[in-house]
Amino acid sequence: MNKLEFINHSCIILSNKNISLAMDPWTEGSVFNNSWNLLVNTPNNLVENLKKSNYVWFSHEHPDHFNPPNLKIFNQKTNFLFQKTKDKRVVNFLSKISNNLKELSFKEEFFLDESFSIQIIPFQYIDSMCLIKLNNIRILNLNDCDIKNENQLKIIKNLCGQIDLLLVQFSYAIGKSNKENTDERRIWSSTILKKLSKTINFLKPKNVIPFASFCYFSRNDNFYLNDSINKIGYTINVLKKNNPEVNFLCLYPGDVWDFNSSWNNDISINKYSSHYNKISPIQIDSKTIDFSKNQEVSNKFINTTIKNNNLFFLYNFFNKKNYDIFFNLTDLKIKCKFDFQNGLQEVSKFDLTKPYCSLSSDSLYQLFNSGYGYDALIIGGRFEANKLGLKNLNKIFKFQAKNYQNIFYNYQSIFYNFIKKFLNKNILFYNRED
C-alpha cells in the first residue's frame, strides 16, 4: 500500500509495503543561529516512526533540512542518501552514524525495491530536488529550489515527465528586511505565490502539497518578520484560484494520505491557524561574546579569505569602498568598524549614512566564524541594516558564502566556470562532484 505520512515542515515519510523513505528530518530545536523554530511541535510518536525509516534523504545542508542534533535518533541500520559532492561534508558527518551511505550522481536512479526509486537532481550550488517513483506514482519534491524561469521548468519537465504529486515551499525564508519594511515583505510573499502558480501551471501536477514553510522567526530581534508570511490557508486559496484543475492538500503533523482518498483541508488549516495565532518570541539565553573574541575570529576570517581566493587582491582593488562596514553590537553597546586592512576595530562615532548593521555579539561571531555564517544571518534575520550595509555585507562575505559552495575566486576556478557556462548556456544543474 502506498502511504505518505507528514511529520513536520519539509519532513515526510513515503512507504511501500515494508520499505520507507524519510526526507529532511527537522523535528525540534532552533536553527540558523537560534533564529527559526517549528510552528508545531513534533509529536513523539512521529519521531519514533521517523526513527524506523529504512532510508533517509537530505535535499541540502541547511539546518531546517539537515539538522545534526536531530539525527541522533538514527543508527547503523539507517540507510542515508545524499547527492554526490566534492566537499563530502554531509556524508562525512553521516558516516559517524551509519556506514550505509549512498552518494547519488545526477540522473542516477536508486531503487529501494523493485517498484520504489529515487533520482536526485542537483540545483544551483547546494540545493537539490528529487524525483520519486512509487508504484508508477511520480512524486517531485522541489523543496527549497527557487525556480527562476521557464527554461528551468522545461528542463525539469523533460527530466520528470507527468507529475502525480508536487511538493513545494510556499513562504519567504529570508530575513534581510528592517522592522519598518512591511511592504517589502508583502511583496516577497506575493511574488512567491505568483511564481509558484506559474510553476504549477507549467508542470501540471495532479496534486500539490505546500510544505517546507511550517516555521517562524522566533526571537525578539527577528519576530517582526512574521508579519507578512504566507499562511497555509491563504496560500491554498490563491494557488487553487490560479490552478483550479489541481488538487491541493494541507497536511498537519501525523496526517497520512494514500494518494487516492479525497482530503478535507479545513481540519488541518484550522489546526495551523491556531498555531499561527499563538506564536511568540522564544526566550533563549544568548551567549554574549567578548569583543576581543570577535576581533580574533574576524582576523581569522580575513586570513582564510585571502588564502582561499588568490584573486582577492584584484577584487579588493576594484571594490575597496564596498569592503568596509560599521557594526552596532546591541548587547555590548559597542560600535565598531570592519575592513580587510584593519580588521574589527572599536569606534566612537557611528555614521548612519555609511554602511552599517546592528546585531548581537553572538550573531557577529557566527557571521565571521562559520562557513555559512552569512547565509545563516541573512536567512535568520537577526539583524537590521541600511541599504549600503546590506550591499557591503554581501560583498564582504561573498567569498565565505561561495567558498562554502566550493566556488573559489582564483584563476583556475574562474577559467573552469567560464568554460562550463560557455559550453552550456542554459545551465541549471551544477555538478558538485567536480
Percentage of residues in the chain having pLDDT higher than 90:
89
Compute CA distances 131 → 160, 165, 221, 255, 384, whole Å: 7, 10, 38, 22, 39
Q: Are 141 and 163 in contact (CB under 8 A)?
A: no
Whether the per-residue pLDDT at 70 is higher than 60: the answer is yes
- Domains, the chain, with CATH or none: 2-278 (3.60.15.10), 291-409 (3.30.1050)
Q: What are the beta bridge partners of residue 328?
A: 335, 358
Per-residue pLDDT, 9: 98
Per-residue pLDDT, 425: 47
Report pLDDT digits (tens) over 33-66: 999 999 999 999 999 999 999 999 999 999 999 9
Whether the per-residue pLDDT at 97 is higher than 70: the answer is yes
Burial of 354 (0-12, 13-18, 19+ CB in 10 A): middle
Query: Which residue pairs, CB below 8 angstroms and at least 24 apart, start in 312-315?
Result: 312/399, 312/409, 315/409
Q: How confident is the model at residue 17 (pLDDT cuts 50, 70, 90)?
A: confident
Q: Are 86 and 433 in contact (CB under 8 A)?
A: yes
Q: In this structure, how many other beta carbons lie within 10 angstroms of the beta carbon of residue 54?
A: 18
Grid cell for residue 168: 513545494
Q: Are 174 and 269 in contact (CB under 8 A)?
A: no
Global pTM value: 0.94
Q: How confident is the model at residue 335 (pLDDT cuts 50, 70, 90)?
A: very high
User: What average pLDDT does range 397-403 have in this prediction?
Assistant: 95
Q: Hey, CA dihedral for 291, 292, 293, 298, is it positive or negative? A: positive
Report pLDDT digits (tens) over 272-302: 999 999 999 999 887 899 999 999 999 999 9
Burial of 5 (0-12, 13-18, 19+ CB in 10 A): buried
Per-residue pLDDT, 424: 55
Report pLDDT digits (tens) over 6-15: 999 999 999 9
Whether the per-residue pLDDT at 416 is higher than 80: the answer is no
